Amino acid sequence: MSFQHHWLDGEPIELTTKKVVCAGLNYALHVKEMNSKAPDTEPVLFIKPATALQSLHQALTIPMDRGAVHHEVEIALLIGKRLKNCSASEAVSAISGVGLALDLTLRDLQNEFKKAGRPWEKAKGFDGACPISHFVPISQCPPLDNIDLSLEVNGKTRQRGNSRDMLFPIPSLLCAISEFFTLEPGDIVLTGTPEGVGPLHPSDELTLNLGPSLRVNTRVAPTPAQ
């Protein structure tokens, strides 16, 4: 998979990703497990650079020397039209495809930054921090407000959720993003993670599901030989 193009419905499309815009704390139970406060009037947003992308369809590389690396499974949206101060209908019409992603997080590092009152981009935007699947057309997905997603690690379900539980549903989330960050064709939006986040380890086997539309089997690369 090249990130000069993405795969949509089995065919490569020429959409270069310039950035990944992510929503944090968008599921109430995840907010609770993180001992955080739910956002009131607008979503929590952060950006991963394009260099954070890696393919979910290959063995995943994770840092081995920066503390715990946590998985956060998310619904990913591939943007096909420019969005700036958009309406809900414009937002939906701009979605070219729906896929799966992992928002990999250096949790120990993030906690250190939070305690110090410092930005935590390093914990979210490091190289390889956004494994991404191919995309399926929105017409082949369940309604945007009723998409199941799940993550299994070594055969056991770690995360399970549904887009109806989002604090900021997909159309309103895209509208809020477009007020601050212009979304360009090829950009990707991650929509938040349900509860159950936890650490990954070398050689873990992962299965990610997006309702009946998409299933990805992958693994964490083993520890390199010394």
CATH at residue 205: 3.90.850.10
- Find the mean pLDDT for residues 98-127: 95
Residue 226 belongs to a domain: no
Compute the CA torsion angle 169, 174, 180, 182 (nearest 10 deg).
170
Q: Token digits for 14?
A: 């020429």
Cα 72 from Cα 102, distance rounded (Å): 5
Cα 155 from Cα 206, distance rounded (Å): 8
13 pLDDT higher than 90: no
For residue 37, the enclosing domain spans: 13-56+64-219
Least confident residue range of 15-19, 70-74, 127-131, 170-174: 15-19
Residue 224 belongs to a domain: no
Cα 113 from Cα 123, distance rounded (Å): 9
Burial level of 122, CB count in 10 A (0-12/13-18/19+)?
middle
Residue 225 belongs to a domain: no
Residue 7 belongs to a domain: no
- Find the mean pLDDT for residues 87-112: 97
Residue 95 belongs to a domain: yes
- Residue 12: the pLDDT is 77
Residue 4 belongs to a domain: no
pLDDT averaged over every residue in the chain: 93
Instruction: Select from 179, 169, 168 the least CA-distant residue to 40.
Output: 168
Percent share of the chain, pLDDT over 70: 96
pTM of the full predicted structure?
A: 0.94
- Find the mean pLDDT for residues 102-116: 95
Cα 130 from Cα 55, distance rounded (Å): 8
Residue 70 belongs to a domain: yes
4 pLDDT higher than 60: no
- Find the mean pLDDT for residues 197-211: 97
Residue with tokens 């950006």: 47
- Find the mean pLDDT for residues 39-46: 94
- Residue 65: the pLDDT is 92
Residue 2 belongs to a domain: no
Percent share of the chain, pLDDT over 90: 88
Burial level of 41, CB count in 10 A (0-12/13-18/19+)?
exposed
Classify the C-alpha dihedral 53-56-57-63 as positive or negative: positive
The count of structural domains within the chain is: 1
